[in-house]
Amino acid sequence: MRLYAARPFFWSLLAVLALVAGCAGAPAATGRSAITLDPVSSPDWAEDMRRFAAEDAVTAPPARPVVFTGSSSVRLWRTLAEDFPDVPVLNRGFGGSQLRDVAHYADQVAVRYRPRMILVYGGDNDIDAGRSPQQVLQDFRALIARLRRDLRDVPIAYLSIKPSPARANQLAAQQQANALVKAEAAGMEKVLFIDVSAPMLDAAGRPRAELFTDDRLHMNGDGYALWRTIVAPYLE
């Protein structure tokens, strides 16, 4: 009689254990931290990744570098080592890229180097391609989540979208994206927002033409010299 009477309890216990096991095997809801990305903006980035691998094979990258990555404003910063001689730096910019591209290729441009710090420039080409400031924010969140998956304590700095004469008509959208990302970064641990945009505007709020090459989009030596003075205090 005792065994028979215990059967309902036994079967109830099995049901509870099965439910617990099922919950344990289900993927946890990650909410806003879930990494959701649109496809890469171009298949051409695969060639850049092969180029980076080839460069690493020829010349070993520095140990625990400060990695600079993002679009052409980083790729064309050819004086990085001269500008920051006391810091091991590594340039992994790939021109034309957008924030989501950096997230897709995070391992190739950042994670595998086990960096001491990562500086990212993005959002410029995103806005130009028609993505909204809100999409830039979502891609920023996804990028941080992707980097944090492997690099939990590494400081990450976002360089604000720069104003340029060639894209002066996009300035309002750029500034909105910058404001959204700045507010988001303020609530994250070891995520910095570096404002390179405000010093690149003149007294009337227009992009300073003297900081740019003839294409009015990419910076000249004066532009990079300005960036150097802004970025230097943040480097570790």
State the pLDDT at residue 32: 41
Q: Which CATH number belongs to the domain containing residue 105 in this structure?
A: 3.40.50.1110
The total number of structural domains in the chain stands at 1
Is 21 contained in some domain? no
Is 215 contained in some domain? yes
Is 23 contained in some domain? no
- The DSSP secondary structure of the chain, one letter per residue, reads -HHHHHHHHHHHHHHHHHHHHHHHHSPPP-GGG----PPPS-TTHHHHHHHHHHHHHHSPPPSS-EEEEESHHHHT-TTHHHHSTTS-EEEEE-TT--HHHHHHTHHHHTGGG--SEEEEE-SHHHHHTT--HHHHHHHHHHHHHHHHHH-SS--EEEEPPPP-GGGGGGHHHHHHHHHHHHHHHHTSTTEEEE--SGGGB-TTS-B-GGGB-TTSSSB-HHHHHHHHHHHGGG--
User: What are the tens digits of pLDDT across the range 68-112?
Assistant: 999 999 999 999 999 999 999 999 999 999 999 999 999 999 999
State the pLDDT at residue 210: 98
Is 26 contained in some domain? no
State the pLDDT at residue 35: 77
State the pLDDT at residue 36: 83
Show the low-confidence residues of the chain (pLDDT under 70). 1-34, 236
Is 19 contained in some domain? no
Q: Containing domain of residue 75, as a range?
A: 45-234
Task: Pick the closest to residue 102 from 136, 59, 63 (CA basis).
Answer: 136
Is 162 contained in some domain? yes
Is 88 contained in some domain? yes
Confidence (pTM): 0.85
Quote the Cα angle for 126-131-137, to 5°: 80
The answer for residues whose C-beta is within 8 angstroms of residue 11's C-beta and 6 or more apart is none
Is 178 contained in some domain? yes
User: What are the tens digits of pLDDT across the range 3-22?
Assistant: 334 444 434 443 433 333 33
